[in-house]
Amino acid sequence: MIRDIHIQVLVLGSGPAGYSAAFRSADLGLSTILVEKYNQLGGVCLNVGCIPSKFLLHIAKVIKESQEISKQGVVFSDPKIDFNLIKKNKDKIINTLSNGLKSLSKMRKVDIINGIGTFIDSKTVLVKNNKENIHIHFQDVIIATGSKPITLPNIPNDSNYIWNSTQALSLNTIPKKLLIIGSGIIGLEMATFYSAIGSKVDVIDRCDQVLPFLDQDIIKIFLKEIKNNFNILLGTNIDNIFVKDNQVFVTLSNKINKEKKIYDAILIAVGRIPNIKELSLDKIGVIVDKNNFIIVDDQFKTNIPNIYAIGDVIGQPMLAHKGIHQGHIVSEVISGYKHYFDPIAIPSVAYTDPEIAWVGIHENEAIKRNINYEVATFPWNASGRAIVSNCSNGITKLIINKDNRKVIGGILVGRQAGELLSEITLAIEMGCDIEDISLTIHPHPTLCESIGLTAQILQGTVTDLM
Ligand code: FAD
């Protein structure tokens, strides 16, 4: 028997995009149901993405800082890793936050239904779980089903040894030797964690540069800092790979060499694809692009009037805060507000050690786009706070449009760079002149002073320190 439910707004997927849309829809007075395939709310970000990875990176940072401080006169003994306790604590954090989402749903009277949603027609979704089948009839639906890791062809399917990011975060073993395929943000973050807890990590990428879209002066500092922690082999491909006797045998090749190597585990981190298979979008004719991302306009409308999509399932940048923002806008659009998604800048952070954080237009992009720009960098070895905190290797870089003196971009490398980025994001979003930042009094001694000082270099009130 099929149960029927009628509702104003149906949200498919409880990741950051989905729960934000569901909460805002309910706050705007719309009756709302949130459907989630898994028992836990929160999607990739909370369960197998942002939150567990940042917990592990926090551990990595503390280990590294405890090693560094020995040079300053405080010597700790070598860390003893209790992997089971780390895992328990990780799961506890996830459960606390996921239960928090449940409470927030309850407070707002957002009904949560467990199960996989599949379209029957443009007004009905079938939700199946192991107890029942439900037909949810809605006025509007928001698809927020997210994304999953790309798998590579010709790589054995053996989750004990060949991991994706979810398996890397499930903490089953500390591999003595770990190969990470892909030097994107996820690959680099996992390399940071596993090398800190004792794995010997190689990262390979077929590209010739790490994060090739970023400015090279920033990447150079990053590479110099991490070179004692893990190896990065660029312009490198995998020719052959097989699992035997609890080990993974790999042949790596670049333009010059071929090399056979043995690892205890391999992590594939080469990107993500949208979760659309179970939705049966073809049944209702929702248009997707060549990579299967759902095509939407700047109000998140698909080609079908009452069907909207947000978050990872509509494509890059695949970031939780982008999805959250979109979740709010789409609900406001459904409620009748004339709102659009038109951010001037979406910030990004690689939570490596040192962190890399960027927003707006980078220098190499400004060159490509023929923008009349001016740039200034402030080296953290001129920052008292960076020196006392043992992170003087960082830099802060700001870019302005020379024609109108507006801030158009910023990029930082250094410890806590991600925490410093919001000031630059706000400046870009508000259309600040560089003078606005240079006249803003920054507390001393802080790392964020470096932003004020970079602005003063651009204003000519401080001499260039580089
Ligand atoms: P998701 O979080 O993927 O949620 C989609 C939900 O939909 C899932 O719960 C899924 O089970 C459910 N679903 C799918 N299909 C159906 C169906 N048919 N019926 C019902 N439910 C369905 N981003 C950041 O901004 N900062 C970070 O630090 C960061 N770190 C990351 C680290 C890792 C290791 C990974 C993998 C990702 C990271 N991200 C980070 C990216 C971030 O996790 C995603 O951008 C974000 O989770 C996308 O949110 P979403 O709501 O669009 O989708």
Question: Could you report the per-residue pLDDT of 122-141, keeping only the tens digit for each?
Answer: 999 999 999 999 999 999 99
Instruction: Report how far apart the first and last C-alpha atoms of the chain are (Å, whole number).
Output: 72
**How far is it, in rounded angstroms, from Cα 176 to Cα 180?**
13
pLDDT at 464 over 90: no
- What does the DSSP assignment read for 238-254? EEEEEEETTEEEEEEE-
Percent of the chain's residues with pLDDT above 70: 99
pLDDT-wise least confident of 6-15, 152-161, 446-455 = 152-161
Pocket of ligand 1, candidates 50, 170, 278: which has the most ligand atoms within 8 Å of its Cβ, to mutate? Answer: 50
Pairing verdict, β 133-143 and 32-36 = unpaired
* Ligand 1 neighbourhood includes 311 CB (under 6 angstroms): yes
Determine how β-strand 2-12 pairs with β-strand 32-36: parallel
Answer yes or no: is the C-beta of 105 below 6 A from any ligand 1 atom: no
The response to whether 188 counts as a known ligand-binding position is: yes
Q: Does any ligand 1 atom lie closer than 6 A to the CB of residue 17?
A: yes
The pLDDT tens digits of the residues spanning 143-160 come to: 999 999 999 988 988 879
Q: How many residues does the chain have?
A: 466
**Residues in Cβ contact with 155 at an 8 Å cutoff, skipping those fewer than 6 apart:** 162, 238, 241, 266, 268
Say what the pLDDT of residue 154 is: 85
Buried b (16+ CB within 10 A) or exposed e, 64-97: beeeeeeeeeeeeeeeeeeeeebeeebeeebeeb
How far apart CA 115 and CA 132 sit, in angstroms, is 9
Q: At what angle do helices 83-108 and 50-68 cross, to 10 degrees?
A: 140
Neighbours of 58 (CB within 10 A): 12
Q: How confident is the model at residue 466 (pLDDT cuts 50, 70, 90)?
A: very low
Q: Interface pTM (ipTM) of the complex?
A: 0.99
Domains and CATH numbers, the chain: 3-149+273-335 (3.50.50.60), 162-270 (3.50.50.60), 347-459 (3.30.390.30)
Give yes or no for a contact between 233 and 252, defined as CB atoms under 8 angstroms apart: yes
Nearest CA to ligand 1 atom 53: 146
Average pLDDT, the chain: 96
Distance CA 172, CA 181 (A): 19
Query: Which whole number is the average pLDDT over 331-354?
Result: 97
pLDDT > 90 in the chain, percent: 96
Taking the centre of ligand 1 as the mean of its atom positions, its distance from the CA of residue 208, in whole angstroms, is: 29
Question: For residue 222, what are the CA distances in angstroms to 85, 201, 215?
Answer: 31, 16, 11
Question: Is 18 assigned to a binding site?
Answer: no
Give the model's pLDDT for residue 157: 84
pTM summary value: 0.97
pLDDT per position as a tens digit, 200-237: 999 999 999 999 999 999 999 999 999 999 999 999 99
Residue 321: how many CB atoms within 10 A of its CB?
A: 16
Question: What is the torsional sign of CA 386, 388, 391, 393?
Answer: positive
| Residue 36, ligand 1, Cβ within 6 A | yes
- Annotated active-site residue 339? The verdict is no
In DSSP terms, which residues pair with 202 in a beta bridge? 179, 231
Structure-block tokens of residue 37: 């395939």
Ligand 1 proximity of 281 Cβ (cutoff 6 Å): no
Question: Is it the case that residue 302 has pLDDT exceeding 80?
Answer: yes
Ligand-binding annotation for 431, yes or no, is no
For residues 312 and 321, the answer to whether their CB atoms sit within 8 Å is: no
Among the residue ranges 212-216, 325-329, 451-455, the one predicted with the least confidence is: 212-216
pLDDT at 450: 98
Q: Token pair for residue 66?
A: 């405890």
For tokens 């993405």, the residue is 49
Among the listed residues 135, 137, 328, 444, the single catalytic one is 444
Task: Express each pLDDT in 354-383 by its tens digit.
Answer: 999 999 999 999 999 999 999 999 999 999
Phi, psi angle pair for 187, to nearest 5°: -60, -45
Whether the predicted pLDDT of 465 surpasses 70: no
Write the burial class of residue 102 (CB in 10 Å: 0-12 exposed, 13-18 middle, 19+ buried). middle
- Which among 12, 145, 151 is the best mutation to test ligand 1's pocket, defined by most ligand atoms within 8 Å of the CB? 145
| Position 462 confidence tier, pLDDT thresholds 50, 70, 90 | confident
Distance CA 341, CA 217 (A): 32
- 408 Cα: distance to centroid of ligand 1 (angstroms): 29
Q: Tell whether 118 is in a known binding site.
A: no
pLDDT at 5 over 90: yes
